[in-house]
């Protein structure tokens, strides 16, 4: 069968176009009884399709300039410039075998200009948003600061230190004014403690709550950009702590006229553990049971700091002066690192400070607080020894407390020698547990020292602090006093 399947001879196309243009009847193709397929797609044919061709089973006239049909035709602009001569230069082909050059031009012409512009604008916006997101994530990862605060290096110098402060550090921490703290602390006359680095005042806020205010003892000319960074980081770290055996930070005070840096804590009415352990007045000594309760409370606080806070938080100077006692003698750990230590560390970080003292990036030493949990555990062992012996960690006569006690800690017959001689009663079973924990804590091999989770579990499970034990110790004490009288 001789079918017209793919290509129609050029002379027939020319004749076909001319007849359409003159509106004559087409008979050349209609007379062929063997014609089954006619493909006149993508030419410049004009006029109307002859009715004699409509019987064909497969027929295509798309891509021309025909009239009265719903087929896809060329645009009026393309058809306006068409002529039989131009049609002659265009081959009549099957759309499945179009030249690549023509297909490409056809598709480009079919896409509106406004759609192309929309795609370009949309792509640019998406790319810009992605770039902004990447930069924001990068800044968060590096914890770069975004606010520049000038600090004077000295009273006689005009140059300043540019300090980059993260605005997110203290956004959730209350900031007190110096004036309201001055009123609460009776013009800062109610001093309840002091050290070379700080003074502690007692105050009462409007409405009744009592507060303890720690004021840093440092002159403005000695205050550096490094110290300001550390102060704000420390306030942020202390504010996130929330445990019954940890001192609660209520807020801070930061003013420049007069120069002020203060911390505001909940007030613990019974002073420090050091005050009670080294009290030489009659009747001020703690009972054995109370000492055991305080020891367990300190262990719980340290366990919280080491294992339940992320990143871990450690007490820089863990000793009896860092333990405050509430009205019920519940211990609360309060710590703010010595500024002398910070100044020494700031000198080591001088490489981060430019010629004008500008700290451009938060030093790595400030990114995470102290991570020396093993050092905390050693200090906890020394503190336990101080609690049961009533002796200071160091004295001129006997040297270091640990060195003095090591000969007694592991000897059952001599173990009672470490107990405070003022104690009238103690439980030997408790003493064995305490001495075992102390020995583990002060082991020179830091890899052998247990975690605070393990040590706290040992104390809680093996030491009895029930009311019955308290009553027993009290009755024995009264009986002994009766015999002595």
- Which of 79-83, 262-266, 284-288 is the most confident on average? 262-266
Would you say residue 252 has pLDDT above 90? yes
Higher pLDDT, 416 or 228: 416
Q: What pLDDT, on the 0 to 100 scale, is given for residue 60?
A: 78
Angle (deg, nearest 10), helices 373-389 and 288-303? 170
d(CA 439, CA 450) in angstroms, rounded, equals 11
Regarding whether 105 and 115 lie in a shared domain, the answer is no
pLDDT band at 151 (very low <50, low <70, confident <90, very high): very low
Would you say residue 251 has pLDDT above 80? yes
Sign of the CA dihedral with 404 first, then 407, 411, and 413 last: negative
Regarding whether 126 and 106 lie in a shared domain, the answer is no
86 within 8 A of 21, measured Cβ to Cβ: no
188 within 8 A of 215, measured Cβ to Cβ: yes
- Mean pLDDT over residues 99-113, rounded? 49
> What residues pair up with 161 in beta bridges, in sequence order?
151
Regarding whether 124 and 84 lie in a shared domain, the answer is no
Regarding whether 86 and 16 lie in a shared domain, the answer is yes
Greatest extent of the chain over all pairs of C-alpha atoms, in Å: 146
Asked which of 94, 110, 126 is the last residue of a domain, the reply is 110
- Give pTM, 2 decimals: 0.63
Higher pLDDT, 187 or 132: 187
Regarding whether 414 and 453 lie in a shared domain, the answer is yes
d(CA 39, CA 60) in angstroms, rounded, equals 5
Q: What pLDDT, on the 0 to 100 scale, is given for residue 359?
A: 36
Regarding whether 23 and 136 lie in a shared domain, the answer is no
CATH number for the domain including 470? 1.10.510.10
Q: What pLDDT, on the 0 to 100 scale, is given for residue 455?
A: 98
Would you say residue 4 has pLDDT above 80? no
Regarding whether 131 and 68 lie in a shared domain, the answer is no
Give pLDDT tens digits for 434-466. Answer: 999 999 999 999 999 999 999 999 999 999 888
Asked which of 99, 126, 142 is the last residue of a domain, the reply is 142
Would you say residue 22 has pLDDT above 50? no
Sheet of 249-256, strands arranged across: 174-175, 249-256, 259-266, 210-216, 198-204, 191-194
Asked which of 93, 110, 127 is the last residue of a domain, the reply is 110
Q: Assess if residue 83 is contained within a domain.
A: yes
Q: Could you list the residue range(s) of the whole structural domain that residue 441 is in?
A: 272-314+369-485
Q: What pLDDT, on the 0 to 100 scale, is given for residue 327?
A: 93
Mean per-residue pLDDT of the chain: 76
Would you say residue 103 has pLDDT above 50? no
Regarding whether 48 and 132 lie in a shared domain, the answer is no
d(CA 351, CA 359) in angstroms, rounded, equals 9
Q: Assess if residue 188 is contained within a domain.
A: no
Would you say residue 325 has pLDDT above 70? yes
**How many domains, the chain?**
3
Sign of the CA dihedral with 467 first, then 459, 393, and 215 last: negative
Q: What pLDDT, on the 0 to 100 scale, is given for residue 396?
A: 86
Would you say residue 407 has pLDDT above 90? no
d(CA 259, CA 281) in angstroms, rounded, equals 39
Of 32-36, 184-188, 247-251, 305-309, the least confident = 32-36
Give pLDDT tens digits for 368-399. Answer: 455 789 999 999 999 999 999 999 999 888 89
273 within 8 A of 285, measured Cβ to Cβ: no
Neighbouring residues of 5: CB distance < 8 A, sequence distance ≥ 6: 37, 39, 94
Of 110-119, 149-158, 390-399, the least confident = 149-158
Regarding whether 92 and 18 lie in a shared domain, the answer is yes
Q: Assess if residue 200 is contained within a domain.
A: no
Q: Assess if residue 127 is contained within a domain.
A: yes
Regarding whether 137 and 22 lie in a shared domain, the answer is no
Of 142-156, 334-348, 418-432, the least confident = 142-156
Regarding whether 87 and 35 lie in a shared domain, the answer is yes
Q: Assess if residue 411 is contained within a domain.
A: yes
Q: What pLDDT, on the 0 to 100 scale, is given for residue 342?
A: 63
Higher pLDDT, 457 or 123: 457
Q: Assess if residue 257 is contained within a domain.
A: no
Q: What pLDDT, on the 0 to 100 scale, is given for residue 416?
A: 94
Higher pLDDT, 129 or 163: 129
Q: Assess if residue 183 is contained within a domain.
A: no
Within a 13 Å sphere around the CA of 447, how many CA atoms are in the beta-carbon half? 0
Regarding whether 134 and 14 lie in a shared domain, the answer is no
Q: Assess if residue 130 is contained within a domain.
A: yes
Q: What pLDDT, on the 0 to 100 scale, is given for residue 279?
A: 86
- Which of 72-81, 100-109, 162-171, 420-429 is the most confident on average? 420-429
Q: What pLDDT, on the 0 to 100 scale, is given for residue 245?
A: 98
Give pLDDT tens digits for 27-36. Answer: 555 656 667 7
């Amino acid at each position: 069968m001789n079918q017209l399947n793919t290509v129609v001879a050029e002379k027939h196309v020319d004749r076909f176009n001319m007849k359409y243009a003159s509106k004559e009847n087409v008979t050349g193709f209609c007379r062929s009884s063997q014609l089954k397929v006619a493909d006149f797609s993508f030419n410049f044919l004009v006029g109307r399709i002859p009715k004699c061709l409509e019987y064909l089973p497969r027929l295509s006239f798309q891509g021309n300039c025909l009239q009265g049909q719903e087929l896809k035709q060329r645009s009026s602009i393309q058809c306006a410039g068409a002529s039989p001569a131009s049609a002659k230069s265009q081959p009549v082909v099957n759309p499945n075998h179009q030249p690549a050059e023509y297909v490409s031009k056809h598709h480009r012409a079919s896409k509106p200009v406004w759609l192309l512009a929309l795609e370009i604008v949309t792509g640019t916006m998406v790319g810009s948003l992605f770039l902004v997101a990447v930069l924001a994530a990068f800044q968060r990862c590096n914890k770069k600061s975004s606010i520049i605060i000038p600090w004077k290096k000295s009273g006689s110098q005009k140059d300043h230190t540019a300090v980059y402060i993260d605005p997110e550090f203290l956004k959730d921490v209350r900031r007190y004014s110096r004036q309201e703290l001055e009123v609460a602390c009776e013009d800062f006359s109610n001093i309840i403690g002091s050290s070379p680095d700080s003074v502690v005042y007692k105050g009462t806020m409007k409405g009744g709550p009592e507060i303890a205010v720690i004021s840093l003892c440092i002159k403005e000319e000695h205050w550096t950009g490094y110290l300001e960074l550390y102060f704000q980081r420390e306030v942020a770290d202390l504010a996130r702590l929330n445990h019954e055996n940890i001192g609660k930070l209520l807020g801070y005070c930061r003013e420049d006229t007069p120069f002020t840096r203060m911390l505001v804590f909940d007030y613990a009415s019974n002073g420090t553990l050091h005050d009670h352990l080294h009290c030489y007045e009659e009747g001020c000594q703690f009972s054995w049971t109370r000492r055991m309760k305080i020891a367990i409370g300190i262990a719980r606080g340290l366990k919280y700091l080491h294992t339940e806070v992320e990143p871990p938080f450690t007490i820089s100077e863990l000793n009896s002066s860092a333990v405050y006692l509430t009205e019920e003698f519940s211990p609360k750990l309060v710590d703010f690192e010595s500024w002398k230590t910070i100044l020494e560390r700031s000198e080591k970080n001088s490489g981060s400070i430019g010629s004008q003292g500008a700290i451009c990036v938060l030093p790595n030493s400030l990114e995470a607080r102290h991570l020396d949990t093993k050092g905390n555990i050693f200090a906890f062992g020394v503190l336990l020894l101080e609690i049961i012996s009533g002796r200071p960690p160091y004295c001129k006569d006997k040297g270091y407390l640990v060195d003095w006690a090591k000969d007694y800690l592991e000897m059952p017959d001599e173990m009672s020698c470490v107990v405070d001689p003022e104690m009238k009663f103690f439980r030997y079973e408790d003493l064995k547990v305490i001495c075992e924990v102390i020995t583990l804590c002060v082991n020179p091999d830091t890899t052998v020292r247990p975690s605070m989770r393990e040590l706290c579990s040992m104390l809680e499970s093996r030491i009895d602090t029930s009311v019955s034990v308290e009553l027993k110790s009290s009755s024995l004490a009264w009986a002994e006093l009766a015999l002595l009288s």
